[in-house]
Amino acid sequence: MSVLQQPLVTEKVSAQNEQGVYGFIVDKTANKVEIKRAVEEMYGVKVDGVRTMRYLGKMKTRYTKSAIVKGRKPSFKKAIVKVAEGEVIDFYSGI
């Protein structure tokens, strides 16, 4: 399985793209060195720094006729990557 699972395209991260900061959902077992190497290979940019965060999945409850169904969304790990000055990652080039 790949280290990078998908790019984060949220309003907050998209606002930081102009400063060279990008977000990714990554494999839970990946460390900062593996994330840096994967971004540099995939997008051809030089990475200055990587910050990681682990999130616990949210609890979800659904009320049905027969019962109350409780569950949890999956946990995930998020990485915020800062690229070198003047370099850009274009997520929308293949669309």
pLDDT digits (tens, 9 = 90+) for 5-54: 999 999 999 999 999 999 999 999 999 999 999 999 999 999 999 999 99
Predicted local confidence at residue 91, as pLDDT: 79
pLDDT band at 92 (very low <50, low <70, confident <90, very high): confident
Mean pLDDT of 72-76: 96
Q: What pTM did the predictor assign?
A: 0.85
pLDDT band at 94 (very low <50, low <70, confident <90, very high): low
Domains identified in the chain and CATH numbers? 4-83 (3.30.70.330)
How many whole angstroms separate alpha carbon 2 and alpha carbon 36? 13
Residues contacting residue 49 through CB under 8 Å, at least 6 positions apart: 81, 82
Nearest to 3 by CA among 82, 55, 95, 81: 81
pLDDT band at 95 (very low <50, low <70, confident <90, very high): low
